Amino acid sequence: QVQLVESGGGLVQPGGSLRLSCAASGRFFSSYNMGWCRQAPGKQRECVASMSNRGTTYADSVKGRFTISRDNTKNTVYLQMNSLRPEDTAVYYCRGWFGNLDYWGQGTQVTVSS
């Protein structure tokens, strides 16, 4: 089983930056596709970034501002968020999937506010 634990969320001012981390358990981390999704009150869940065997993709809402990366030696995936906007406020979830396996972290709160 793969377990995902997010960290790095918090309060940041508009225009600021934040880096989220997702620590994964398991020896097969490098085999998994990884991504980040977010959930804001009153909005549908939106997956903002992913790294899969199909390539790296971003939602239009974050393209050019967010960057997903991974360090397989540390079993960690990151989401670098720059030029943050209030509408980026949400709980951010780390996701890992492989075949029919799909794992989610518990989420970390990101609040963008003055």
Determine contact, residues 70/78, Cβ cutoff 8 Å: yes
Per-residue pLDDT tens over the stretch 39-68: 999 999 999 999 998 899 999 999 999 999
- What is the pLDDT at residue 63? 98
Q: How confident is the model at residue 29 (pLDDT cuts 50, 70, 90)?
A: confident
Taking the CA atoms of 9, 6, 80 and 83 in sequence, report the sign of the dihedral they define.
negative
- Mind giving me the DSSP string for 72-108? TTTTEEEEEE-S--GGG-EEEEEEEEETTEEEE---E
